[in-house]
A and B are shown apart, each in its own frame.
Chain A
Amino acid sequence: MRKLDARKITDKHYQVDMRGWMCPYPKYIIESLVSKLTSGSRMDMLVDCPAATDDVPKVAQALGCSIAGSDQIGNGEWKIAIIKGTSKNSFF
């Protein structure tokens, strides 16, 4: 599969570009990525699969993250902002 385009925006704020990765790839990768984030960090995931806008927040919340927003950034493209460890259900 294509290499993930990930970048640092500011301290504790990252962006992972999953555009071009159809569902269910985005929801399957969340657990690995969240485990690598430090608590309180924010990861913006860019997706272009409509189902990911439902699935990704659900999986992230089950992992103890909170969703800071899910916005459409273009035709068929969305940005989902995930913040680690701010939910009471945190597993990490």
Chain B
Amino acid sequence: MFMKKAISFFCASIWKKSWPLWIGAVGLALTNIFMFAYARAIGVFPQMAMWGSWLYYLMGLSVDAPFTQYPRTPLYLDMHSMINFGLILGVAIAALLSREFKVRTEDWRGCGMAVAGGILMGFGTVIMPPCNVGGFYSATMALSLSGPVAVLGLIPGAYLGGLLLKRQVAEAAEDIDFDALPEGKPAVKKPLSHQPVIGLLISVLLATIALLYTYYGKSKFAGLLLFGALFGIIFQRSRLCFCSAFREILVSRNGTVMKWILLSIAIGTCGFSILKSHGYQPMHFVLPVGLHTVVGGFIFGIGMVIAGGCGVGILWRSAEGYVRAWIALIAGMLVSAAWVPLYGGHVGEGKLYGKPFSLGERFGWINGTLIVLLFLVAFYVFIVWVEAKKK
């Protein structure tokens, strides 16, 4: 009896309702600190760019992957790709256990938006670099100046993308006249399938893959796969979406999601600073910073909104069955992977890019941390100011 109640409580509280945003914010920060301490912080687009270089290779074209730290490697032997695979599996498990998986098709205009979004994100990720979660969330935690600077591009870019989406729905709503609607029958409840069973089977698959990697002496791979899955479950259940966080600040004048992300970054910053101040990977996720950070962020910001998700977002939505995310993923992979032949160099090389700037290395770890926390407070005040202007 007790077990039955406990199981039913577990199912209802974890899989039936979405989690509060604060759980997502704190959960993501702690997972990112622990994953950094284990190996590295979260960031997903450079791996996807490397996957794109594989697609070219399979088409008979040999191009260098754009990020030098992520050279073309068989995917099952690439440690960094494990985070992406884990995230996809984690989201799929959470979505299936919650009965939220569905293949969501698009018409030709939706497919066009996906391609455009993927192309813009592909260019944005190599110019910024890298993506929203890596270039803003992890970079700011890592005391990289590029994190706060990226915001200057991401906010206006996401706003522009959001206006485009708003215009599309306004056009669709124009045709609706409730007095002249044809009569019809209400939607009927469909029988629910065995999605939770499939979710459990994928959990077993995830555990099996992790065990196999451990057995073959690659426990780091297994660890990152499981960390990725944990990220996926937290993202899917808390619906803490970085794309909507940036978009809604100006479009709806609602910064609720971003405020929780700022708290998440504050927690993460303290954790990262402690580790880095002890000499652990001090330059990890300290990225080139310059005008390109703002321009790349702007391009990426538009792209992520019209594609329906940033780098993490399209991986997440692809595992929930969004065809728009599948298309954006492939477009983003192919465009970012074409960067070396297009630009003539790798990401971070040449005149386009500034130098990496660590606030911790430059001003000391305590001062650097205080500067980042001050930035987070300033961002929070900006959001409150924008919200106050809402009519």
A residues neighboring B (CB under 8 Å): 1-4, 6-9, 14-17, 19-25, 28-29, 32-33, 36-38, 41, 44, 46, 48-51, 53-54, 71-77, 79
Contacts and interface: CB of A to CB of B under 8 A. Distances in A.
Nearest to A25: B169
A8 B183 contact: yes
Contacts of B101: 75-76
Contacts of B99: 72, 75-76
B144 interface: no
A1 B184 contact: no
Contact of A25 (B168, B175, B186, B321): B168
Contacts of A2: 107, 109-110
B178 A14 contact: yes
20 contacts: A3-B172, A4-B172, A4-B173, A4-B176, A7-B184, A8-B181, A8-B183, A9-B184, A15-B186, A20-B107, A22-B324, A23-B244, A24-B162, A36-B178, A46-B187, A48-B102, A50-B98, A51-B244, A75-B193, A76-B104
B349 interface: no
B190 A77 contact: yes
A22 B241 CA distance: 14
B200 interface: no
A3 B208 CA distance: 45
Contacts of A1: 107, 109-110, 168-169, 171-172
Contacts of A7: 181-184
Most buried by B among A28, A38, A53: A28
Instruction: Assign chain B's interface to a size class.
Output: 35 or more
Nearest to B188: A73
B296 to A, nearest CB: 23
A54 B18 contact: yes
Given A1-B168, A75-B99, A44 B104 contact: no
Contacts of A71: 189
Contacts of A4: 172-173, 175-176
A25 B165 contact: yes
B105 A20 contact: yes
Nearest to B183: A8
Nearest to B322: A22
B166 interface: yes
A32 B166 CA distance: 11
Contacts of A53: 18
A46 B317 CA distance: 19
Given A2-B110, A8-B181, A15-B186, A32 B102 contact: no
